[in-house]
Amino acid sequence: MESNEVFIIESDELISREIFDLLNNIGYEIKIYTSAYDFLSDNNAPAGVVVMDLRLKGMSGLLLQRKLQANINVETIFMSGVAQVEDAVSAMKAGAFEFLVKPFRPQTLIDAVGAAFERLWASRLDRMAAESAKAAYESLSDAEREIAQLLARGLRNKQVAHFSSRAESTVKVHRARIMKKMGVQSLAELVRQLRHVGFG
């Protein structure tokens, strides 16, 4: 099941409650924290969207973002009422998904959270496709891998035969086996799969 958890990190309880009511009413699971330390102590490997104030007490939002940067299962949205352009630039460079300046319209936050989840889910699908392609590629024989790599470069059967020192008929047989093992129906699909593995 896809995560729909939103982590709110905000020292102002009134703002936290407003965001909680807004997002909880449209189906998100919400957890509220007043500091980065509380959030980290409660979450070893969070998965979801973090909505946090830029200037948190203790550890700043930017520092927390840097700690979360390696987590591929998290997108972050910053909020700030006294933001400078430099703050927004620093946040985006650190990997933030969005930077909202308070006060913002409720729909603006709803749209940002929705878009952040869409990117999380799309990234997960990409990783799953890459893992599947890698497993399929590893099932190929050495000869099939050699031919697959040449096909990924856009070479035709006759060219593949030339570069691999094989008969064109042999290349066709290998190509059919490669496509079956990789689970594809066309050369274009095969090239896309091989790109997941690092070829093409």
CATH of the domain at 161: 1.10.10.10
Name the domain count of the chain: 2
Residue 184 lies in a domain: yes
State the residue range of the domain holding 22: 5-128
Q: pLDDT tens digit string along 74-108?
A: 999 999 887 677 888 888 888 899 999 888 999 99
Alpha carbon 148 to chain centroid distance?
Answer: 27
Q: pLDDT tens digit string along 17-29?
A: 999 999 999 999 9
Task: Examine the pLDDT at 116 and tell me if it is beyond 80.
Answer: yes
Do 9 and 62 fall into the same domain?
A: yes
Whole-angstrom distance, CA of residue 50 vs CA of residue 136: 35
Backbone phi and psi for residue 153, each to the nearest 5 degrees, phi listed first: -85, 0
CATH of the domain at 11: 3.40.50.2300
Do 54 and 87 fall into the same domain?
A: yes
Residue 145 lies in a domain: yes
Residue 44 lies in a domain: yes
Task: Examine the pLDDT at 174 and tell me if it is beyond 60.
Answer: yes
Do 116 and 177 fall into the same domain?
A: no
Instruction: Say what the pLDDT of residue 52 is.
Output: 95
Do 78 and 147 fall into the same domain?
A: no
Do 29 and 91 fall into the same domain?
A: yes
Do 51 and 117 fall into the same domain?
A: yes
Q: Residue 31, exposed/middle/buried by CB under 10 A (0-12, 13-18, 19+)?
A: middle
Residue 133 lies in a domain: no
Confidence class of residue 1 from pLDDT cuts 50, 70 and 90?
very low
